[in-house]
Amino acid sequence: MTEKKDTPQEIDLIELFSRMGDGISNLFTRLFNLIWQIILWFFNAGVASLKFGLKNSPIIILFAALGLVYGKYTINNAEPYYRTNATIQTFTIGSSSLIEYTNKLKDISEQGDSIALSEILSIKPNEAASIKGIEAYWLIDKNKDGVADEIDYENKFEPDTINNWEKINGRFLVQLLIYSPEYITTIQDKFEKYLFTYPRLEQITAVKKRNLNSEIKRIDSELEILDSLKQYEYFIKDKEKLKQNIGVIPLDKILLSAATEEDKPTRLLHDITLGLDKQNQRNIAALELETEPFRFISKFVNVTQPVDIEKENHISLKYIAFALFLGIIFSLFLRNIKSIIQFIKE
């Protein structure tokens, strides 16, 4: 009876595993066929493209040559421009605020509004017209050593958990592109004055100075109190205890005397004093050195070598790529011109 009951169950399990095996086998077969079809499609497309390119190579090469010639012509006839950079360190105002304030000039210069730019910077219209672009960028610290390792020319940097790069909050770079380098010194002076027109800059600076002065006075008061406590703890407390204990508990009345107040150990206040003193020294240094809104670590310098336009913008490569595209489109048009004409007629 037992064998008859177990036999159908064993058969069902065998059938189940057999179906599972067939299903897995079919899955891998279909996956392999799909991959093979994709590879075959790419191969056929490559062969067809190669045949098309070889058959129409004179036209495609001609278009590429025209693109190269036009690219070189554009470079040779482009007005040369110069690049110079300045690095600014911020103190009482955040770098993000000054970067945003600087890039208002970038928007105006990109629009080619030299009149508005001349009014904002208080420079002559011809000096404003010589500015190709001015833009502020974040500096990126890759290894957290406080030294800039990269410039965020896209101004799109976002920190992540993979590389742990971070923006340097206290410094940023300003890049000036200019057609006439003789105006660099003038623009440097006017640009610095422009930054000082940031709204409520004087109030922000005054608040920081006032806060530092208050902190210095508060710590000075704490240091005076600590000096008094140290004087008592180190020199007076033990003497008072000694005077109180002499002759107070005679030997024959020791059992009748009341318990004395628990003696508290002498407090060591030296480390606390040193910590407050160091903090105050930092506050004094900040008051002397870090209460200006910002400081130019390096200014725009006069340059003599223009920017390599080809290396900078890859103009020739862009025109060649565009000309190749046009050559392919033109070849396809010639190849199917009869069908196109017939379609237009219909």
* 78-82, 128-132, 297-301, 334-338: the lowest-pLDDT one: 334-338
- Above 50 in pLDDT, residue 122? yes
Which amino acid belongs to residue 75?
Answer: I
Tell me what the mean pLDDT of segment 14-20 comes to: 73
> Model-level pTM?
0.67
> For 56-65, 258-267, 297-306, 328-337, which range has the lowest pLDDT when averaged over its residues?
258-267
What are the tokens at 267?
């407090």
Alpha helices in the chain (DSSP H): 2-55, 57-77, 95-110, 114-121, 125-129, 184-195, 201-231, 237-245, 270-289, 309-313, 315-335, 337-345
Residue with the bigger pLDDT between 127 and 277: it is 127
The Cβ of residue 232 has, within 10 Å, a number of other Cβ atoms equal to: 13
Burial class (CB in 10 A: 0-12, 13-18, 19+), 330: middle
When pLDDT is averaged across residues 126-154 and rounded to a whole number, the result is 90
Beta bridge partners of 139: 151
Measured CA to CA, the distance from residue 33 to residue 135 in angstroms comes to 54
Lowest mean pLDDT among 46-60, 81-95, 132-146, 188-202: 46-60
Domain ranges of the chain: 28-79+309-330, 82-200
Instruction: Express as a percent the part of the chain with pLDDT over 90.
Output: 28
- Which among 9-13, 131-135, 210-214, 269-273 has the top mean pLDDT? 131-135
CA distances 62 to 55, 76, 194, 320, Å, are: 13, 21, 52, 11
Q: What is the mean pLDDT of residues 81-91?
A: 94
Per-residue pLDDT, averaged over 173-200, amounts to 94
**pLDDT (0 to 100) of residue 214:** 87
Predicted local distance difference test score (pLDDT) of residue 157: 84
Q: How far apart, in Å, are the Cα atoms of 192 and each of 21, 103, 184? A: 77, 14, 12
The pairing of beta strand 82-90 with beta strand 150-152: unpaired
Residue 151 in tokens: 């410039």
> What mean pLDDT is predicted for residues 7-28?
70
Do residues 192 and 98 touch, judged by C-beta distance below 8 A? no
* DSSP output for 77-140: HSPP-EEEEEEEEESSS-HHHHHHHHHHHHHHHHTT-HHHHHHHHT--HHHHHTEEEEEEEEEE
Considering just the CA atoms, what is the radius of gyration of the chain in Å?
40
Whole-number Cα distances in Å, 200 to 92, 116, 127, 151, 266:
11, 23, 28, 29, 51
